[in-house]
Amino acid sequence: MSSPKTVKTEDVVPEGAPRLVLAGNPNVGKSVFFNALTGMYVDVSNFPGTTVEISRGKFRNYLVEDTPGVYGVSSFNDEETVARDIILEADVILNVVDAVHMHRDLFLTQQMIDMGKKLIVALNQMDEAEKNGIRIDVQKLSDMLGVPVIGTMAVKNIGISDVIDKIEEASQGNRLPGMEEMLKPYVEKGLTEAEALMILEDDSEICKRKNMSPAGSQEELYKRRRARVDEIISAVVAESNDKASFSVKLGRLMLKPFPGIPMLLVTLFAVFMFVGVFMGQTVVELTEEKIMAGLYQPFVTNLIGKIIPIDSFFGQLLAGEFGLLTMTPVYILGLLLPLVVGFYLMLSILEDSGYLPRIAVLSDRMMNRVGLNGRAIIPTILAFGCFTAATMTTRLLGSKRERVIATALLGLTIPCSAQLGIIAGILASMGLPYILFYIFVLVLLFGLVGKLLNKVLPGESSSLLIDLPAIRLPGIRNVLKKTFVKTKIFLKDATPLFALGAVIITLLRYFGILEAIQDAIAPLTVSWLNLPKEMATVFIMGMIRRDFGAAGLSSIALTKSQMMTALITITLFVPCIASVIVIFKERTKGEAVLIWMGSLVTAFVVGGLVSKFLMLFPAG
């Protein structure tokens, strides 16, 4: 696996080095250029205060910075503000443009030209354009933009070296007429031209930073820029509309209910087989049971036991059943790591192939009903892996209310992969009617709770407006790099949560609070849920780790109806302690308490109803 080396760029690039920034729309192939330019000196990190990952590297005397793909320089979301701040500081910009989607991409190009930045354009995917009957007059495009334009086919490594050779020829292009005069008053106040353009385009953050009021000319400038791009396109592009490449045809088929929905189901099934079955069972058996629990844990327990007695408070804290050096690493490295790698690998492939936005389109209608839009499919897929990863991903949703709805719904109704393995095993032994009943209850609840939250929460959810990129074969190197970076960031964020959770549980247990809670909820367990008293222990265990809870089920003799009640209650019951902590981290305190208590109450109410319902069928 070619994982990027993490070398701090400060070590290899002198301070004050000129900045070469890679910019372009999403999915245009920027990363190929970045890799070609920087070779091995790559430093991937989160942009401060965001989950947006930024790669930095070195090329000649330049500091090279990659930016998230954006459609324009502004601040509609996190990616855009990050890209904007990097572009504002750029000395030279290598703008990668998708030849098939010039109509969209040149808006950003023209905007950066209007900023007065030195630009060179790599017109990528020339082969794909040709396959679709698009002919482009590259020389004329270069003349009209006023910057060098070089045709490339990055994945086939054609034209990349030409671009690299010509970086120094990057130049300021032809701005919209009258641009200089509009920028002048701001430049005289000490702003750069690029910052001045942001003020002219009403960018609220830049206005605040510079203590200026928005100029109110965004709409006018956007319209003129769009008109200019349309004019350029008409002049340089000749297309015969009857040609459509295989990937374009495939992209269209994916959106038709037939065969789009069967294709989606097959894809999801393949993802499940890979992550849930291969990673979740085969790999986890090796990593968790054999390596971590089989070799590592006895070793550590033994080692710590030689220094302090395991029964003592600190012994428990470090190497007890829920110790910092025992449960925490076993859980994170043995169980979560393979699952999360599996999910991010699948997500990166779906993303880079251009399929993910189409899944969002197909699921938009379903998501609308619960106050979300199609983009929420991404945290939903991740929730089947690990709820903490999913909650962090809810940041990409358009509004606060959507983030609250998604957090609550996913935490309540989606069993995480750790749980799913055990639950699926128990369900399989119970027979098809029980499997269907379990799924039915969860889907019903997903819909009902979502609808309810959508009704009671103030405000309005954002609606879907997404660009559909071309369908293409994802590059292996890029997919692996994405998976590596996302997994690394997940481990960095989640490990402290799991460690804190372990500490809390050890404290609760050591001081007997856990037993007190078990006794307190026992009446509820017995009279309302019709379950044996010992089930309270399983519920408490479920709070520590959802799969512990589910695993405890097999040790108690239950009828099938009781088992079904217990499975559903445990699925809905508070997420594991790390999830609770991440909810508190990502949401406000009030929201977090409501989500947490809400899922507790829902779990018991629904569990009781299921129990009463199943009692109508005495055979079970």
Partner 1 sequence: MTLDKAKRGDEIEIIHINDARIRAQAIRLGISEGARMLCSEKVPAGPIILKNRMQEVAIGRKIAHMIKVERVG
> Which residues sit at the interface with partner 1, rule CB under 8 A?
71-72, 74, 76, 100-101, 103-104, 107-108, 132, 134, 218-219, 222-223, 226, 233, 237, 239, 248, 251-252, 255-257, 357, 360-362, 364-365, 368, 373-374, 463-468, 470
Nearer to partner 1, 36 or 466 (CB): 466
Nearer to partner 1, 101 or 472 (CB): 101
Q: Look up residue 36 and give its two tokens.
A: 């070609």
State the minimum distance, in angstroms, from the CB of residue 618 to partner 1: 42
Phi, then psi, of 135 in degrees rounded to 5: -110, 135
State the minimum distance, in angstroms, from the CB of residue 458 to partner 1: 17
Nearer to partner 1, 223 or 290 (CB): 223
State the minimum distance, in angstroms, from the CB of residue 495 to partner 1: 37
CA atoms 447, 453, 458, 463: torsion sign:
negative
State the minimum distance, in angstroms, from the CB of residue 354 to partner 1: 11
Nearer to partner 1, 200 or 535 (CB): 200
Nearer to partner 1, 451 or 612 (CB): 451
Nearest to 197 by CA among 211, 174, 214, 209: 214
Nearer to partner 1, 185 or 459 (CB): 459
Tell me the C-alpha distance between 339 and 390, whole Å: 13
Residue with tokens 């301070």: 15
Angle at 26 between CA 356 and CA 355, to 5 degrees: 15
CA atoms 150, 153, 155, 160: torsion sign:
negative
Nearer to partner 1, 258 or 555 (CB): 258
DSSP letters, 188-238, are HTT--HHHHHHHHTT-HHHHHHTT----S-HHHHHHHHHHHHHHHHHHHEE
First-to-final CA distance of the chain: 51
Q: How buried is 223 (Cβ within 10 angstroms: 0-12 exposed, 13-18 middle, 19+ buried)?
A: exposed
Q: Taking the mean position of all CA atoms in its chain, how far away is CA 527?
A: 42
Q: Is 46 left (phi over 0), alpha (psi -120 to 50) or beta?
A: beta
Phi, then psi, of 422 in degrees rounded to 5: -70, -45
Nearer to partner 1, 27 or 506 (CB): 27
Q: Beta-carbon neighbour count of residue 53 at 10 Å?
A: 18
Q: Look up residue 105 and give its two tokens.
A: 């991409």
Find out whether 407 and 583 touch, Cβ atoms under 8 Å.
Answer: yes
State the minimum distance, in angstroms, from the CB of residue 255 to partner 1: 5
State the minimum distance, in angstroms, from the CB of residue 369 to partner 1: 10
State the minimum distance, in angstroms, from the CB of residue 462 to partner 1: 9
Nearer to partner 1, 102 or 383 (CB): 102
Find out whether 132 and 244 touch, Cβ atoms under 8 Å.
Answer: yes
List of long-range contacts for 308-317, beta carbons under 8 Å, 24+ apart: 313/510, 316/506, 316/509, 316/510, 317/503, 317/506
Nearer to partner 1, 26 or 475 (CB): 26
Nearer to partner 1, 233 or 526 (CB): 233
State the minimum distance, in angstroms, from the CB of residue 130 to partner 1: 12
State the minimum distance, in angstroms, from the CB of residue 445 to partner 1: 22
Tell me the C-alpha distance between 516 and 455, whole Å: 37
Nearer to partner 1, 54 or 360 (CB): 360
Find out whether 163 and 94 touch, Cβ atoms under 8 Å.
Answer: yes
Residue with tokens 């789009």: 260
Alpha helices in 237-272 (DSSP H): 246-253, 257-272
State the minimum distance, in angstroms, from the CB of residue 373 to partner 1: 6
Nearer to partner 1, 253 or 597 (CB): 253
Nearer to partner 1, 241 or 555 (CB): 241
State the minimum distance, in angstroms, from the CB of residue 241 to partner 1: 8
Tell me the C-alpha distance between 176 and 205, whole Å: 24
Nearest to 31 by CA among 437, 388, 479, 396: 479
State the minimum distance, in angstroms, from the CB of residue 21 to partner 1: 19
State the minimum distance, in angstroms, from the CB of residue 227 to partner 1: 8
Nearest to 125 by CA among 157, 165, 152: 152
Provide the 3-class DSSP secondary structure of residue 58: strand
State the minimum distance, in angstroms, from the CB of residue 343 to partner 1: 24
